[in-house]
Structure 1
Amino acid sequence: MIEFRGAGPEEFAERLETVIGIYTAAMRPPVEQIAGRMSIMRNHGTYPRFQCYFAELRESPPGPGLPAPEPKVVGFAYGFRGESGQWWHDVVYRGLADKMGREAADAWMGYAFELAEIHVHPDYQGKGIGRAMIRTLCAGRPERSAVLSTHDQPTAARHLYASMGFTDLLTKFVFPGGHEEYVIAGRPLPLS
């Protein structure tokens, strides 16, 4: 059985090796990028109103009277309140302001929950875990919008976000220093 368990910044930092393991299995980044990604994630844990959920597989005890094994983390999702001075927030805000105008950028980014990372281990993808984690993570958030970035390709993740009401705000967006194209997507909160 899969259960979702909330974790704050301290536990997130303690479980960063597990988080990176799932991220690496799901995204298959070049090895030289993993240390940098780990540093970015550690920093994210310090952002305002940070919240993480772990998707844990809980198995039954192996026999009567025996303790249940420790749950296995098969996915994680986290986000935080976006604010001026955060790299992703500022870059996306400028991109939205350039394309849609400052008023639209303020509407989307002025009081936004930034869904920074949502990953499920490949062995457990396609079972509704990602969707459930997003719903759990966004439940009760006070922000007026949720925003995220994902690769600008017809991926399962992009399909998931669209099916949950996220609309494309920017397409073919290239972050400074990068070369891959991303979509910036958003939707009003709360999730229906």
Structure 2
Amino acid sequence: MPHTAGAQLPDPREVVTGPLDLTARVDEALAVQAVAFGLTDDEVGVRKYIVQRHMTSPGARALGATTEGDRLVGFVYGMPNDRSHWWSTVVEPYLRQEGNEGWLEDAFVITELHVHPAFQHRGIGRGLITRLTDGAAEPRSLLSALDIDSPARALYHGLGYRDLARRVQFPSAPQPYAVMGAPLPLLGR
């Protein structure tokens, strides 16, 4: 899904957000993530297995943003937090150190949110995350994002997420992450 400079992009009103069978469309979703997040083919291969496994977790849900031609241009997925999941076990000591370990209880975790760069800054990411969390039974949401000033972190802050722990090192990631949490429903919806 290459970005074509100068190409006429669809009107954002023509992008529809709705339920996504992420298992069936995992290759399309990971193509969006690869462009948006700069993943290598090897990283995509590993993430495919992870996404497929996540979607078998109780309560896992996904939404997609598609054009009129059914081109997937964005997606989000998440699930209720399980303290035994890898992500939770990695972030728990960082949250405990900051006095925020309680956030791991009764939380809905945004696992991935990505929008193709050609479709960013149109409200698609905001629509995806708010719609997904609006369907959560949990009173709070968690996510992790690169611990840098970025449009993604600005979006999360604008929705009410606050930093719960910073400089979080995931074993396979060279850059540190921030763990962020927000009460539900999100602000600025």
Map Cα deviations across residues 128-149 of structure 1 (whole Å, 9 max, x no partner).
Answer: 1000111111113110110000
Which residue is 1:171 aligned to? 166
CA apart distance, 1:181: 0.7
In 1, Cα distance between equivalents of 2:28 and 2:35? 11
One-letter amino acid of the structure 2 residue matched with residue 98 of structure 1: Q
One-letter amino acid of the structure 1 residue matched with residue 51 of structure 2: M
Mapping 1:100-115, distance limit 5 Å: 100=99, 104-106=100-102, 108-115=103-110
CA apart distance, 1:41: 1.1
In 2, Cα distance between equivalents of 1:30 and 1:16? 16
1:3 corresponds to 2:16: yes
Which runs of at least 4 in structure 1 moved beyond 6 Å after TM superposition? none
CA apart distance, 1:89: 1.4
SS at match of 1:47: coil
Query: How high is the TM-score relative to the length of structure 2?
Result: 0.87
CA apart distance, 1:34: 1.6
CA apart distance, 1:177: 4.3
Stretches of structure 2 that go unaligned for 5 or more consecutive residues are 1-13
SS at match of 1:52: strand
Provide the identity percentage: 30
One-letter amino acid of the structure 1 residue matched with residue 166 of structure 2: T
SS at match of 1:92: helix
The answer as to whether partners of 1:5 and 1:55 remain within 8 angstroms in 2 is: yes
Mapping 1:29-178, distance limit 5 Å: 29-58=39-68, 70-100=69-99, 104-106=100-102, 108-178=103-173
Q: Which has the larger radius of gyration?
A: 1
In 2, Cα distance between equivalents of 1:178 and 1:122? 22
In 2, Cα distance between equivalents of 1:99 and 1:56? 39
Query: How high is the TM-score relative to the length of structure 1?
Result: 0.86
